[in-house]
């Protein structure tokens, strides 16, 4: 079954901790994306990557970091520098220029 997976589904973080959200796809897509969703708001782009070993900042990259060592994987680290990290995080992938396919999301809560 082709698709995009995110883990964990729920994540709790203490203040001052870094946490890493996993995103894996087996759709053979070149491009991958991370979005943040807050209640009553649309999706805001954090980072995106169009090829392996290359990625670009989106609109709200501060306090986040990513890597793209493999085509299938695009993990997102939420660092302690992110002042308000509680949100729903969505990963997506696409063939270049085509429709984005979304994972089921990770809900991050800071305790």
Interface contacts to other proteins, rule CB under 8 A: 4, 6, 31, 33, 35, 40-45, 48, 50, 56, 58, 90, 92, 94, 96-105, 107
Nearest distance, CB of residue 42 and other proteins, angstroms: 4
43 or 80, CB closer to other proteins?
43
Measured CA to CA, the distance from residue 32 to residue 29 in angstroms comes to 7
Nearest distance, CB of residue 58 and other proteins, angstroms: 8
In whole angstroms, how large is the CA radius of gyration of the chain? 13
16 or 42, CB closer to other proteins?
42
Q: Are 75 and 7 in contact (CB under 8 A)?
A: no
Secondary structure letter of residue 20 according to DSSP: E
Nearest distance, CB of residue 102 and other proteins, angstroms: 4
- CA neighbor of 87 nearest in space, from 23, 16, 32, 34: 34
Nearest distance, CB of residue 80 and other proteins, angstroms: 26
Q: How many CA atoms lie within 13 A of 16 on its CB side?
A: 0
62 or 98, CB closer to other proteins?
98
């Amino acid at each position: 079954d082709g698709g995009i997976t995110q883990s964990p589904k729920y994540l709790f973080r203490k203040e001052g901790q870094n946490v890493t959200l996993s995103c894996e796809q087996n759709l053979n897509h070149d491009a991958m994306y991370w979005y943040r969703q807050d209640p009553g708001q649309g999706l805001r782009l954090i980072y995106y990557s169009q090829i392996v070993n290359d990625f670009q900042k989106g609109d709200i990259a501060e306090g986040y970091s990513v890597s793209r060592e493999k085509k299938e994987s695009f993990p997102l680290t939420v660092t302690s520098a992110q002042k308000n990290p509680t949100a729903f995080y969505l990963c997506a992938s696409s063939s270049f220029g085509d429709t984005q396919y979304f994972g089921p999301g990770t809900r991050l809560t800071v305790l």
